[in-house]
Amino acid sequence: MLQDLPVWLAHFRAQAAHPRQVPSTLDDTLTARERRLIADSIATFQLGESSDGAQLRRAVRRHCRAPQDSSLVEIFDLFIAEERRHAELLGEFMQDHEIPWRESALTERAFRGLRHHGGLAARLRVLVTAEIIGIVYYRALEVVTDCRRLQILCRTLVADQLAHVAFESQLLRAMQGGTGGLTKRLAAAWEQCLLTGACLAVWATHRRVLAAAGYGPLLFLRDCRRQHAFYLKWPPATQRQRRPRQHPLSPHGT
């Protein structure tokens, strides 16, 4: 199990006690053009943040059967509450700017469907994928608006999600630390397939916002892959450490 659990538990408890706030004194002007550009997109992401986490909670409790696993159960409870806090922040912004709510979205149904299958490790892969895409998306959303409140809201969400990805990726690595090289390679291949499919689906659904920020589908996929590689890329288990070849004229050459 993850050795840093006490650190992460302290982090999520502190976040729950003192959640990030968006100052009410910020400029909140959203132009009609900006509203048309972002309305459907931000409503879709708000819907995705609104999950009650019931399936994830069940997976965590099935995984955590020992008494010492209680910390992990509490962390995920706090994590889910923080995600719902994100939905509230987005919802408050939408309400203030009369942006309609969404009850259903294709990408949200797809992610939710994937989260309903497999054990905790499988769900963590889906969570990490969604969080990484969210990080890149919110940074793009910040670029396409001059509304200061929305810009700080995007930065707030990104700050929380960076911590989420760090925790989830560490936990996933710890859970698979004893698996063989082939298993890790298969997991890495599945992660790349999942990430690629999800990125292209999100770009197609949110292309107006992403294109306005300068993203084509390949650039969006590249940036998401870079984030993913930073947190989750497994070192090849069978890679051999080769000594560099010496130049014939090198003092150490033979």
Q: What's residue 55's pLDDT?
A: 85
- Structure confidence by residue, pLDDT tens digits, 182-231: 777 787 788 888 899 999 999 999 999 999 999 999 999 999 999 998 88
Q: How confident is the model at residue 174 (pLDDT cuts 50, 70, 90)?
A: confident
Topology at the third CATH level for domain 32-232:
Ferritin (1.20.1260)
Q: How many CB atoms lie within 10 A of CB 104?
A: 8
- The residue among 172, 50, 167 whose CA lies nearest residue 123 is 172
Domain ranges in the chain? 32-232
Decide if pLDDT at 104 tops 80: no
- The residue among 170, 157, 156 whose CA lies nearest residue 130 is 157
